[in-house]
Amino acid sequence: MDKIKGLERKNSELEQFIAAMYHKQTILDEWEKSEQKEYELLHEPTEEYPLFLDLLIEKEAKPIKGMLIKAVETQEATPQREKMQKNEQQLDKNKILTNMQFLSEQIQDIKGFKQIAANLKKKGDSILNKQYTICLFGAFSAGKSSFANALLDYPLLPVSPNPTTAAINRIVPIDDQHPHGTIVVLWKNEQQIWREIKEHLQLFKKEAANLTESIPVIKELIQKQTTDFKASIRYFQFFLQGYEKNKELLGREIQTDYTKLEQYVALEENSCLIASIDVYFECEFTKKGMILIDTPGGDSINTRHTEVSFEYMKEADSIVYVSYYNHSFSKADKSFLLQLGRMKDAMETDKMFFVINAIDLAQDEQEIQAVANYVADQLQEHGIFQPRISLVSSLYYQKKEFSDRLLQFKEQLFAFIEEDWMAMMLRSAKTDCEKTVELLQRLVQSALDKKAEKHQEEQRLKEEHHKIAEMIKGFDTDYLQQKIQMEIEEQLFYVKQRIFFRFTDFLVDAFHPSVLKGENKTNELQRALDQFLRTFSYEMEQELRATTLRIENFYEKKQQEACEILLNKLKQKNEEIVLQFAKASKSEENITFYAPFREMDYSLFKKALAYFKNPKAFFEKNERKKLADEMQKIMDEYSQTYLKKETAVLESVYLEQWNKEEMEKQKEFLLQAADYYEGKLALLTEEEQVEKIVCLLKEIEEGKQLVQ
């Protein structure tokens, strides 16, 4: 009898506690409105909350009151508002992470919470270990490496008036295996080098079966001393010098120290064979978990290079575009901006920063402003509105007149990275914690409610679990897949539209009076046609790359939609159920594009090229227009076929990924549902489960107090 009485008392205590928990939030809000009201509420219980207050005064009032006083103090202390906000955020981060860790550790042993605990832990870890990437882009010799050195406040990267950086340099935070000053050099493998060589050879209309067989072809080209494609000849010369010397190292990773950095970065016979260099360097940047990436100057010949740049543009948390004061917005700059403009809408945030470097070359402040306005206009023309533009001198950044500008840039960048990204992640982490606590509260409440009809409830839960599992298994997403398919088709249709919209520009640039002089008709026409086909291929590839970003976004949205539809369906069966899904894992492989137009057969253009008889008739008598019309017909047909093939490739990639993720998600959801019902049943049958949760809920309150 005593035991039963004891249990009943315990039960009634638990019920009171739960009721109190429910009302606490309302009271918290009330308290925040006025300290006076808080005082009254605590000392003169109103009719509205008698039970709550009794209980609260006994057990809860102290910690909550303490918490509220703290909150009020923080709100009132306004004088150094900005500084405070930053500190608050820091505090918030620690608080949220501690809460998250506490919660995930506590619930992992509670039946039904295994998956949720794992998710919380994963999210917490990703916030804690987040590394931000800041990627520097810019034309050759714009001063990217100099700017990186200025940011690091240390002359780490080699700098020179000649093209210098040939590999990607990443300045990364140190770790256990890599103390300060370590560098890790990743050499390109034979296949990567062969791909590059092949592209350069193509410019000279040369072919070879493989890398070894290309060497005599290259030697012959160098000997010919042709004046065409000087950059490629230079590349070949360095390749020959470096290849023999470094053959053994290709495809490997070597570790050394940063005093050797120059010989890998700036010595072109080495650097042309190196894919990337990681420099482990402890400084203000890396201590904040930031990775600074210095890229080689723009180069549109090398497909691999444009692909790598695209991946960095896409993935970096922030992109800094450096242009040189004296020639801001050269052709290379414009090509980058064009690609950026294509990607802009599909990027989640405006993560671009523009830097005009070498303002020490300006005559006066007025001139600096004129350049800044010019750059802003150029950006606007490419669809980039309200850009963040900084004017700096990387060479003289320590001088008084320039040091503030660099500081301002740094502050702006840090604020963007730390506040925007972190704030978003913290908000989402906080919501996850709150939802988990809510679920714990609801579970306890419903367990107490249903205690009387325990057996029926057990049966009902088992049946409901079965139905929910069937719903998850039977969930059909065919129509969403069809939508993705349609989106891919539509996007690739637009690619063609956009390319052909600029068709005349490509043609006019290539079939230009400076090329077609009428001195050697066949040669000149061939050069013009080559140039046209190269541009056409390159622009098509760039368009397609940008398009994958749009398709990826669409895909993500549909994934989200699929989850929401399923969850809503399940909610019709059970309001309470919460299934979490991690963001879809990205497919491992990057989709690559290689447009085949560079290799089109010349005989196809015989009729078109025949319109060129002499420069006068061609440029003055509208014969160029006839050539253009004829070329357009051919290119239209070939583009159609090429894009059809690419559409099929993209469809198969994305649909395959969809199916894979569908299966993973289904498995995950079934596990979570099983977990949930196991927990629900345990709450019915195992008294200590209820107690465990109630204790935890109390501790959470106290935990909050501790963290505050």
Ligand X SMILES: Nc1nc2c(ncn2[C@@H]2O[C@H](COP(=O)(O)OP(=O)(O)OP(=O)(O)O)[C@@H](O)[C@H]2O)c(=O)[nH]1
Binding-site ranges for ligand X (CB under 6 A): 138, 140-146, 159-161, 163-165, 296-297, 357-358, 360-361, 393-395
Looking at the Cβ atoms of 20 and 157, the one nearer to Mg ion is 157
Give the interface size with Mg ion as a residue count (CB under 5 A). 4
Looking at the Cβ atoms of 265 and 413, the one nearer to ligand X is 265
Q: Name the minimum Å distance from CB 272 to ligand X.
A: 13
Short-list 235, 279, 241, CA closest to 261: 279
Q: Which does 163 bind (CB under 5 to 8 A by kind): Mg ion, ligand X, none?
A: ligand X
639 binds Mg ion (CB under 5 A): no
**Kind and range of the H or E element at 390?**
strand 389-391
Looking at the Cβ atoms of 278 and 661, the one nearer to Mg ion is 278
Q: Which does 303 bind (CB under 5 to 8 A by kind): Mg ion, ligand X, none?
A: none
145 binds Mg ion (CB under 5 A): yes
Cβ–Cβ under 8 Å, residues 389 and 367: no
Q: Name the minimum Å distance from CB 150 to ligand X.
A: 8
Looking at the Cβ atoms of 161 and 474, the one nearer to Mg ion is 161
Side chain identity, residue 543 = E
Query: What letter does residue 270 receive in the DSSP assignment?
Result: H
How far apart CA 112 and CA 692 sit, in angstroms, is: 13
What are phi and psi for residue 451, nearest 5 degrees?
Answer: -55, -40
What are phi and psi for residue 384, nearest 5 degrees?
Answer: -105, 105
Q: Which does 520 bind (CB under 5 to 8 A by kind): Mg ion, ligand X, none?
A: none
Cβ–Cβ under 8 Å, residues 421 and 132: yes
Looking at the Cβ atoms of 159 and 608, the one nearer to ligand X is 159
Q: Which does 309 bind (CB under 5 to 8 A by kind): Mg ion, ligand X, none?
A: none
How far apart CA 367 and CA 360 sit, in angstroms, is: 11
At 495, list the tokens.
Answer: 């690619």
Looking at the Cβ atoms of 143 and 703, the one nearer to ligand X is 143
Q: Name the minimum Å distance from CB 305 to ligand X.
A: 12
Residues in the chain: 708
Looking at the Cβ atoms of 144 and 305, the one nearer to Mg ion is 144
Strands 182-187 and 253-257: antiparallel
DSSP characters over 501-541: HTHHHHHHHHS-TTT--SSSHHHHHHHHHHHHHHHHHHHHH
Q: Provide the CA 550 distance to its chain's centre, in angstroms.
A: 13
Looking at the Cβ atoms of 333 and 418, the one nearer to Mg ion is 333
Q: Long-range contacts for 348-352 (Cβ within 8 Å, ≥24 apart)?
A: 349/420, 351/316, 351/317, 351/318, 351/319, 351/416, 352/318, 352/319, 352/321, 352/384, 352/387, 352/388
Looking at the Cβ atoms of 156 and 507, the one nearer to ligand X is 156
DSSP characters over 664-693: HHHHHHHHHHHHHHHHHHHHHH-HHHHHHH
Looking at the Cβ atoms of 169 and 559, the one nearer to Mg ion is 169
Q: Which does 115 bind (CB under 5 to 8 A by kind): Mg ion, ligand X, none?
A: none
Q: Which does 394 bind (CB under 5 to 8 A by kind): ligand X, Mg ion, none?
A: ligand X
Binding flags for Mg ion, 163-202, as an x/- string (CB under 5 A): -xx-------------------------------------
Looking at the Cβ atoms of 163 and 289, the one nearer to ligand X is 163
Q: Name the minimum Å distance from CB 141 to ligand X.
A: 4
Q: Which residue is associated with the tokens 């209820």?
A: 690
Q: Name the minimum Å distance from CB 139 to Mg ion.
A: 11
100-121 burial: b if 16+ Cβ within 10 Å, else e? bebbbebbeebbbbbbbbebbb
Among 82-90, 137-145, 274-282, 311-319, the segment contacting Mg ion (CB under 5 A)? 137-145
* CA end-to-end distance (rounded Å), the chain: 44
Q: Name the minimum Å distance from CB 443 to ligand X.
A: 59
At 123, list the tokens.
Answer: 């999210």
How far apart CA 39 and CA 36 sit, in angstroms, is: 5
User: Other C-beta atoms within 10 Å of 628: how many?
Assistant: 19
Handedness of CA 698, 703, 705, 708 (dihedral sign): negative
Q: Name the minimum Å distance from CB 218 to ligand X.
A: 23
Looking at the Cβ atoms of 145 and 436, the one nearer to Mg ion is 145
Q: Name the minimum Å distance from CB 541 to ligand X.
A: 22
Looking at the Cβ atoms of 165 and 271, the one nearer to Mg ion is 165
What are phi and psi for residue 184, nearest 5 degrees?
Answer: -120, 120
CA angle 699, 702, 703 (to 5 degrees): 80
Q: Which does 361 bind (CB under 5 to 8 A by kind): ligand X, Mg ion, none?
A: ligand X
How far apart CA 32 and CA 72 sit, in angstroms, is: 7
Q: Which does 255 bind (CB under 5 to 8 A by kind): Mg ion, ligand X, none?
A: none
Q: Which does 639 bind (CB under 5 to 8 A by kind): Mg ion, ligand X, none?
A: none
Binding flags for Mg ion, 499-538, as an x/- string (CB under 5 A): ----------------------------------------
What are the beta bridge partners of residue 277?
A: 169, 185
Who contacts 561 (Cβ-Cβ below 8 Å, separation ≥6)?
480
Q: Name the minimum Å distance from CB 146 to ligand X.
A: 3
How far apart CA 592 and CA 186 sit, in angstroms, is: 21
Q: Which does 293 bind (CB under 5 to 8 A by kind): ligand X, Mg ion, none?
A: none
Q: Name the minimum Å distance from CB 270 to Mg ion.
A: 15
What are the beta bridge partners of residue 322?
A: 138, 355
Q: Which does 143 bind (CB under 5 to 8 A by kind): Mg ion, ligand X, none?
A: ligand X
Among 156-164, 373-381, 417-425, 555-563, the segment contacting Mg ion (CB under 5 A)? 156-164
Q: Which does 500 bind (CB under 5 to 8 A by kind): ligand X, Mg ion, none?
A: none
Q: Name the minimum Å distance from CB 145 to Mg ion.
A: 3
Cβ–Cβ under 8 Å, residues 225 and 311: no
Q: Name the minimum Å distance from CB 144 to ligand X.
A: 4
Q: Which does 436 bind (CB under 5 to 8 A by kind): ligand X, Mg ion, none?
A: none
How far apart CA 45 and CA 144 sit, in angstroms, is: 67
Q: Name the minimum Å distance from CB 338 to ligand X.
A: 19
Q: Which residue is associated with the tokens 């000053």?
A: 181
Q: Which does 118 bind (CB under 5 to 8 A by kind): ligand X, Mg ion, none?
A: none
At 230, list the tokens.
Answer: 């000087």
Q: Name the minimum Å distance from CB 651 to Mg ion.
A: 40
Looking at the Cβ atoms of 130 and 334, the one nearer to ligand X is 334
How far apart CA 245 and CA 641 sit, in angstroms, is: 44
Looking at the Cβ atoms of 146 and 303, the one nearer to ligand X is 146
Q: Which does 631 bind (CB under 5 to 8 A by kind): Mg ion, ligand X, none?
A: none
Q: Name the minimum Å distance from CB 266 to ligand X.
A: 9
For binding to Mg ion (CB under 5 A), which residues are involved?
Answer: 144-145, 164-165
